[in-house]
Structure 1
Amino acid sequence: MLQTLSIRDFVIVDTLELEFSSGFTVLTGETGAGKSILIDALSLVLGARGEGGITRVGAEKAEINAVFDIAALPVLQAWLREHEIDVDDAQLLLRRVIYADGRSRAFVNGSSATIQQLREIGEFLVDIYSQHAHHALLKASTQRQVLDAYGGLQDVAAELADSYQIWQGLYHKRLDAEKNAEAHAVESAELRDQVRELAALAPSAEEWEPLQQEHIRLSHGASILAGGEACRELLSEGEVAAIRQLSSVQHKLHELVAYDSGLQEALDILDGAVIQLEETDRFLNRYLQRADLDPERLNEVEARIHALHAAARKYRVRPEELAGLLESWQLRMAELESAHDNEQLRQEEARARAAYDALAKRLSDGREKAALSLGEKITSEMQRLSLSGGKFAVSLNAQDPAATGREQVEFLVAGHAGVAPRPLSKVASGGELSRISLAIRVVTAQQGDMPTMIFDEVDVGIGGGVAEVVGQLLKTLGNQRQVLVITHLPQVAAQGMQHLRVSKHLHDGQTLSRIEALTHTQRIDEVARMLGGVEITETTLQHASEMLAAGA
């Protein structure tokens, strides 16, 4: 449940700290006082999209903090751990900062988070229901979602949607295979010839570079041998070979070092040079002895290079890409062979259809049971809401298999006795729609597990004794979970266990909004204002006191 909400520099609120209790809380105030500010702020901290003009005039940023008790929400705790967010089993702190330039930051338990994460967390915590939801209830998709939620069928419905996509994917794959069988056969035959040719060539992605290097070496074999021998002649074999000359210098320096040790460094350097030259000479000797400059091998290499070049030109790729081309052709051939196996495709499609049908039956059976129960309960609530003799029913109309199931869900209503139920969108007036919508919300909420529910002026178009019944319904709902209601009706306000009042005042030339928790005496004055308007009489105050006493 929501424990505290703090707001700073948001719209016309400079600073606000609110504590909430469990049960049924009402929020009242003059028209235009800013009652929606609390809902807007809470929506933002739960991941709603921010718009311009959110920060208070002259402020750098708006900041909203909300603290929730999540001790009874193990599923949310598991979600937080899965997303590597530190979890306090008792409390969850959500924070949203929105700057004047439109930038926004989000935090969960002090750690930076995304707006999407706030939105996902919000789905575990709060359900906000506004008067605009009445009109959404006229849509077939909303009616289906309401029924599925009431019957606890959301998981089955989601599985069915996935199953439908799998089935349809295989269905269209089979149709495509049958439609394009001739074209695929031509392509397969062409690929078969090309694969046979390249497979015989057996190109390797790693052979091209070494093959070129070997060709260069073999084609310049004579030059390599002659050059190598010339190098050895200069190093060690000739009369004036470098190693012999340096050895003479080396011998002379040995004699001189005896006279001056300062020449030792020169001798050390020369010793190293002689060693390096001798090593070079030995390397050249070994190389020339084992040099493989076979003309037949040269012919083989040239033939291989020519074959690879020819294939590369034919298929318009580089020689080193031939191996990859062969692999891609082989994969495509496997795809075509699979596509041509119509019997296998039919079997896969049949299995997918059977899986869909099984899920669809489960969903249909669940909907049929939920439809009967939902119709009876809402019909019962309609009697309490001055729709005596009225009836509510859920019609399940057969349709072709679809991602949503094998039936369309339609809400039917009869406003009074003796009238056949008709689609909700065609028969309900504004006031009737408000009452029916509220009845649906209260009944379905009893089946759900959302810890906090907020009703934003859902009692528009309701008055008199019906308003008192609405208050009783909301209070009953508050016995099961935390309920916050923004209302203009004194009959509803009098039922609240906690009462918050919104007001506006001028401060330093700025209009600011204030929300305060009311004492019992203040509640009498506020309910009297809602009853009597501008002039509040003793009679009005007495009536307000009696209403509060009755609602306690």
Structure 2
Amino acid sequence: MLRTLDIRDMLLIDRLSLDFAPGLNVLTGETGAGKSILLDCLGFVLGWRGRAELVRAGASQGEVTAVFDLPPGHPARAVLDEAGIEAEEELILRRVNAADGRKTGWVNDRRVSGEVLRALSDALVELHGQHDDRGLLNPRGHRMLLDAFGALDLSGVRAAWAARRQATSALAEAEAAIEAARKEEDFLRHAVAELEKLDPQPGEEATLDAARRQMQAAERVRGDVARALQMLAGSGSDLGAEGLIVEATRWLEGAADKIGDDPEEGLAEPLAALARASIELGEATRGVEDALARMDFDPRALEAAEERLFALRALARKHDVLPDDLATLASELSARLSALDAGEARLADLQQALREAESAYDTAATKISAERRAAAGRLDAAMAAELAPLKMERAVFETRVTEGEPGPDGRDAVAFTVATNPGAPAGPLDRIASGGELSRFLLALKVCLARGGEPLVMIFDEIDRGVGGATADAVGRRLARLAEGAQVLVVTHSPQVAALGQQHFRVAKSVEDGITTSRVAALDAPERVEEIARMLAGEEITPAARAAAQALLTAGAPA
């Protein structure tokens, strides 16, 4: 609900603050008094695109503030959440228009763009009138309005559409993948065969390189170690170090027997040293023999290691990968080749899945189409009942449901059409109906489509134009019905409509010191009698006009 509207230095208004009430709020005044200015200012703070020059002459800037009640679950809360603004029970919109044309907006003291204000506007306010291109006259919204009227459950067709899209996407992706694979089929088959033949393993290159280096090193030093062993152990006629020590020991032992035990001439210590040297020499010889045995390898093993290492590196360069990644590459290429080989079978499965999804969507869309046509019939009947009291019993309203582009909500196109005279061709609302007729069509349509507890503030701009008497009374009664449990703002010239308002504002224009100013005042009961009498009688208000005004107010008062 719109609680207050505060205007500063906008158009003909210098200072104005209005408090609105639930139910039907009416604004009256003489032609040119400035009633439309209030709507211009409300539209400005809601981000609507309207007049370019809004700042009052002589002012540096104009400002409008609107305060709305925002109960839990209100659609505007979702807009605030998306904009990152914390929702409260009170929503304050403020917008400033500088004299140079710059516009700045705030929501609950958070600066926002005009786009955010317009998104909030769609959740807060609904304008109805002859230029209502954002609401009931917009054909793009007719299907949604019909679905809401018929309380249609679209979850089934939306789920079927999502499944159909998913099946279509899966098939397209598979076809693209197979087509790409076919283009490289020869390469894949050759590469997979080459990789399978080599069978590279992760870490194999490092292992082969280490073994190759070890064998190459052994090949270089083995001859030196063998010669060292020959020096130590001897071979053939060559006694070697060990043989020489044995010979030296034998000669010294013989000499020792001849010398006897004379300490000064004895050979015991040299013989003991040679014994120790023989033991150490034996250990050294065995160690060299063991080392030489470890260096023993098959030259063919070195050749095989080098050949495989070179093959791994050459294949890695060919595919521009590291040797350790060849095994992974082999798996990937094999998988692509397998996908190609199994592609036809998979395509057949996906094509069958798509046919099933399309069939399910067709079934759901056909069901929704039938429900829409049934709802269209009920809406047309409801409109006929509403148009008769509005003196349009000869007019025909028809909801046309035709085949359109498939989508998540089905494949129907919906358009509201009218024929104002029997036998005349039907056409869109805004092209067939005249100004007064269009206003009554829109009112009847809104009455039929209205839901209880309407969260939107409904604004009707001179929707009773061109009607009077009983028709004006019928318009007022329908506006009052819309205002039950909701809030409706009506700009009206009709005393019958004005008499039904729960809150009545009078707009008047005055000139002081050459400056024109519009004023708006909330009327009490006696003032309402005078204003409605003026609307009935004109400039000279007669007792009969006052009596008629009182009668209208009494008739419009709630029972």
Same-fold status (TM-score > 0.5): yes
Q: What is the CA distance between 1:137 and its match in structure 2?
A: 5.1
Match of 1:187 among 156, 179, 183: 183
1:127 counterpart letter in structure 2: E
Q: TM-score, structure 1 length as denominator? A: 0.67
Q: Deviations over 1:456-479 (max 9, x none)?
A: 122233233211110111112222
Report if the CA contact (8 A) 1:134-1:433 is conserved: no
Report if the CA contact (8 A) 1:438-1:458 is conserved: yes
Residue 52 of structure 1 pairs with residue 52 of structure 2 = yes
Q: In the alignment, what sits opposite 2:65? A: 65
1:150 counterpart letter in structure 2: F
In structure 2, C-alpha distance between the alignment counterparts of 1:318 and 1:399, rounded to whole Å: 56
Report if the CA contact (8 A) 1:434-1:461 is conserved: no
Q: Deviations over 1:306-336 (max 9, x none)?
A: 7666655xxxx999x9999999989988997
In structure 2, C-alpha distance between the alignment counterparts of 1:176 and 1:168, rounded to whole Å: 12
Q: In the alignment, what sits opposite 1:18? A: 18
CA 25–536 in structure 1, closer or farther in 2 if over 3 Å, else same: same
Where does structure 1 lack aligned partners over 5 or more consecutive residues? 204-209, 211-294
Residue 39 of structure 1 pairs with residue 39 of structure 2 = yes
Report if the CA contact (8 A) 1:22-1:482 is conserved: yes
In structure 2, C-alpha distance between the alignment counterparts of 1:424 and 1:87, rounded to whole Å: 39
Identity %: 39
Q: Deviations over 1:449-506 (max 9, x none)?
A: 3242111122233233211110111112222311110112222222212111223334
Q: In the alignment, what sits opposite 1:156? A: 154
Q: In the alignment, what sits opposite 2:533? A: 528
Report if the CA contact (8 A) 1:45-1:64 is conserved: yes
2:183 counterpart letter in structure 1: E
Q: Deviations over 1:393-436 (max 9, x none)?
A: 434345675555244434465657x8699556586555433322
CA 348–539 in structure 1, closer or farther in 2 if over 3 Å, else same: same
In structure 2, C-alpha distance between the alignment counterparts of 1:463 and 1:69, rounded to whole Å: 35
Q: TM-score, structure 2 length as denominator? A: 0.66
Report if the CA contact (8 A) 2:154-2:409 is conserved: no
Report if the CA contact (8 A) 1:191-1:333 is conserved: no
In structure 2, C-alpha distance between the alignment counterparts of 1:331 and 1:61, rounded to whole Å: 70
Within-5 A mapping of 1:377-396 = 377-388=382-393, 392-396=397-401
Q: In the alignment, what sits opposite 1:548? A: 553
Within-5 A mapping of 1:116-127 = 116-127=115-126
Match of 1:449 among 441, 454, 463: 454
Q: In the alignment, what sits opposite 1:264? A: none
Match of 1:463 among 443, 463, 468: 468
Within-5 A mapping of 1:272-351 = 311=319, 341-351=346-356
CA 104–170 in structure 1, closer or farther in 2 if over 3 Å, else same: farther
Report if the CA contact (8 A) 1:137-1:143 is conserved: yes
Q: In the alignment, what sits opposite 1:489? A: 494
Q: Deviations over 1:340-380 (max 9, x none)?
A: 53223213323432452354245335424432332222211
Q: What is the CA distance between 1:174 and its match in structure 2?
A: 4.8
CA 166–73 in structure 1, closer or farther in 2 if over 3 Å, else same: closer
Structure 1's consecutive aligned runs of 4 or more residues displaced over 6 angstroms after TM superposition are 175-178, 197-203, 295-307, 321-339, 418-421
Q: In the alignment, what sits opposite 1:290? A: none
Report if the CA contact (8 A) 2:7-2:13 is conserved: yes
1:126 counterpart letter in structure 2: V
CA 99–343 in structure 1, closer or farther in 2 if over 3 Å, else same: farther
Moved more, 420-429 or 444-453: 420-429
Report if the CA contact (8 A) 2:189-2:337 is conserved: no
Q: In the alignment, what sits opposite 2:507? A: 502
In structure 1, C-alpha distance between the alignment counterparts of 2:487 and 2:42, rounded to whole Å: 15
Report if the CA contact (8 A) 1:45-1:96 is conserved: yes
Within-5 A mapping of 1:197-212 = none
1:119 counterpart letter in structure 2: R
* Number of aligned residues: 463
Q: What is the CA distance between 1:150 and its match in structure 2?
A: 1.6
Report if the CA contact (8 A) 1:391-1:421 is conserved: no
1:189 counterpart letter in structure 2: E
Larger Rg: 2
Q: What is the CA distance between 1:19 and its match in structure 2?
A: 0.2
Where does structure 2 lack aligned partners over 5 or more consecutive residues? 201-205, 207-301
Give the SS at the match of 2:472: helix
Q: In the alignment, what sits opposite 1:95? A: 94
Q: Deviations over 1:516-549 (max 9, x none)?
A: 2123333333333333444544444443343333
Report if the CA contact (8 A) 2:135-2:141 is conserved: yes
CA 324–546 in structure 1, closer or farther in 2 if over 3 Å, else same: farther
CA 345–508 in structure 1, closer or farther in 2 if over 3 Å, else same: farther
